[in-house]
């Protein structure tokens, strides 16, 4: 029996100030997103303005701003952006509020407006980490530092033109515009601010941008690190799940990546129960499940080839318990490069809504 410690309903007991916010969200379970957005507007936005206004910028204010951003907001914001990209937060009567997270807050959190949606919803999920996925990990050796640096560098240097070209060739004109205009508006705005106040721009926009590009690629690398070459389109075999982590409790059960690719719009509060309910399927499919470590720890362990540590955190779902050596051999085999023709339609047959 596997004990699940991750939260099933993180919308805790309401504070008096939160009760009026309930009527804003389409789903009351998403109240944490409304509260988090409001907190960012009330706390982070004024701090960002202060960084630009106070001249010369004191070192302690720069450090304080980055501490508040990285310790208090940026990880939770990123997964809030993820969840609300899949499931709209506000109903039609408050439709304008749906721009707060991906447009108003995005530049402060290292994201460019709209481009996350164009990349993640418009490209990554339909392509399912296969060859046409611009963020596919398949062709890389996933325990290689050199491979990851190439992967990250390609994303930073040519990610935008490739994404725009991807959508244009498929007739996704709206998504192509979202990606192009979102990225260019950010670059132009940051360039102008850097001309006016370079140090404040570095602190408020450039450092978060570089950090988030790295963290998103490291996270995706770990999420799709252990691929079965015999069936790379199967979400149970091209993704991982990580249970019982502080990251899950803080970041809306993001560790349940297999379940997310099986059903992309599954509500974040339902992830642990879905995993428990379908444990036999995970077992039958041969899914890789970790316990007690998150994606970024998995990424770091891969970079240092710490397979023994990784194996100790594997949830062994097999009917017959496997030795540590067997688990290490499995993990090593799953990190080897996978070659798949881009036109291999049969490989897409198992692709789901994720």
Integer Cα distance of 23 and 45 in angstroms: 24
For helices 45-53 and 59-68, the axis angle rounded to 10 degrees is 160
Asked if residues 26 and 90 have their Cβ atoms less than 8 Å apart, the reply is: yes
**Tokens 């075999």 sit at which residue?**
237
Q: Where are the domains of the chain?
A: 19-221, 235-348
What pLDDT, on the 0 to 100 scale, is given for residue 5?
Answer: 84
From the list 83, 48, 49, the residue with the least C-alpha distance to 69 is 48
pLDDT at 13 over 80: no
Integer Cα distance of 242 and 247 in angstroms: 9
Phi-psi region of 226 (alpha: psi -120 to 50; beta: other; left: phi over 0): beta
pLDDT at 349 over 90: no
Kindly tell me the burial class for residue 80, based on how many C-beta atoms sit within 10 Å of its own C-beta (0-12, 13-18, 19 or more).
buried
Band of the pLDDT at 353, cuts 50, 70, 90?
very low
Residues 60-81, mean pLDDT to the nearest whole number: 98
Residues 72-83, mean pLDDT to the nearest whole number: 98
pLDDT at 345 over 50: no
From the list 334, 354, 141, the residue with the least C-alpha distance to 257 is 354
Least confident residue range of 21-25, 83-87, 95-99, 252-256 = 21-25
Question: pTM to 2 decimals?
Answer: 0.93
Integer Cα distance of 34 and 31 in angstroms: 5
What pLDDT, on the 0 to 100 scale, is given for residue 20?
Answer: 78
Residues 306-330, mean pLDDT to the nearest whole number: 96
Asked if residues 102 and 113 have their Cβ atoms less than 8 Å apart, the reply is: yes
The single-letter DSSP state of residue 354 is -
Residues 136-145, mean pLDDT to the nearest whole number: 98
Report CA 147 to chain centroid distance, whole Å.
Answer: 20
Asked if residues 151 and 234 have their Cβ atoms less than 8 Å apart, the reply is: no
Band of the pLDDT at 12, cuts 50, 70, 90?
low
Report the share of the chain in percent with pLDDT over 70.
93
Other CB atoms within a 10 A radius of the CB of residue 196 amount to 9
Residues 88-101, mean pLDDT to the nearest whole number: 96
What pLDDT, on the 0 to 100 scale, is given for residue 57?
Answer: 97
Integer Cα distance of 332 and 141 in angstroms: 10
Band of the pLDDT at 341, cuts 50, 70, 90?
low
Integer Cα distance of 143 and 304 in angstroms: 8
**Tokens 């070192």 sit at which residue?**
59
The single-letter DSSP state of residue 314 is B
What pLDDT, on the 0 to 100 scale, is given for residue 7?
Answer: 74
Which structure tokens are listed for 150? Answer: 């190439």
Give me the residues paired with residue 314 across strands.
290
Residues 101-118, mean pLDDT to the nearest whole number: 98
Other CB atoms within a 10 A radius of the CB of residue 245 amount to 21
């Amino acid at each position: 029996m596997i004990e699940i410690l991750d939260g099933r309903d993180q919308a805790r007991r309401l504070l008096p100030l939160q009760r009026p916010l309930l009527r804003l969200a389409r789903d009351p379970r998403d109240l944490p997103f409304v509260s988090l957005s409001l907190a960012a507007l009330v706390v982070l936005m004024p701090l960002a303005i202060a960084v630009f206004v106070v001249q010369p910028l004191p070192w302690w204010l720069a450090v304080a701003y980055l501490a508040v951003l990285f310790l208090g907001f940026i990880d939770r914001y990123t997964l809030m952006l993820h969840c609300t990209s899949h499931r709209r937060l506000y109903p039609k009567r408050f439709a304008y509020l749906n721009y707060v997270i991906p447009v108003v807050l995005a530049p402060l959190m290292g994201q460019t407006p709209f481009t996350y949606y164009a990349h993640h919803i418009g490209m990554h999920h339909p392509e399912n980490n296969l060859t046409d996925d611009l963020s596919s990990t398949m062709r890389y050796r996933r325990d290689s530092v050199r491979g990851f640096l190439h992967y990250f560098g390609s994303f930073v240097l040519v990610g935008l033109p490739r994404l725009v070209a991807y959508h244009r060739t498929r007739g996704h004109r709206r998504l192509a515009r979202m990606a192009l205009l979102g990225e260019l508006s950010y670059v132009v705005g940051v360039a102008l601010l850097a001309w006016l106040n370079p140090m404040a721009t570095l602190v408020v926009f450039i450092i978060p941008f570089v950090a988030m590009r790295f963290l998103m690629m490291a996270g995706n690398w770990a999420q799709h690190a252990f691929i079965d070459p015999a069936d790379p389109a199967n979400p149970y075999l091209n993704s991982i799940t990580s249970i019982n982590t502080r990251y899950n409790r803080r970041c809306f059960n993001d560790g349940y990546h297999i379940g997310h690719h099986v059903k992309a719009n599954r509500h974040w509060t339902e992830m642990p129960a879905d995993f428990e309910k379908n444990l036999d399927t995970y077992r039958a499919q041969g899914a890789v499940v970790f316990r007690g470590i998150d994606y970024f720890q998995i990424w770091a362990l891969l970079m240092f080839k710490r397979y023994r540590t990784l194996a100790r955190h594997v949830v062994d779902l097999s009917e017959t318990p496997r030795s540590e050596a067997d688990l290490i051999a499995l993990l090593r085999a799953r990190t080897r490069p996978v070659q798949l023709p881009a036109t291999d339609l049969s490989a897409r047959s198992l692709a789901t809504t994720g």
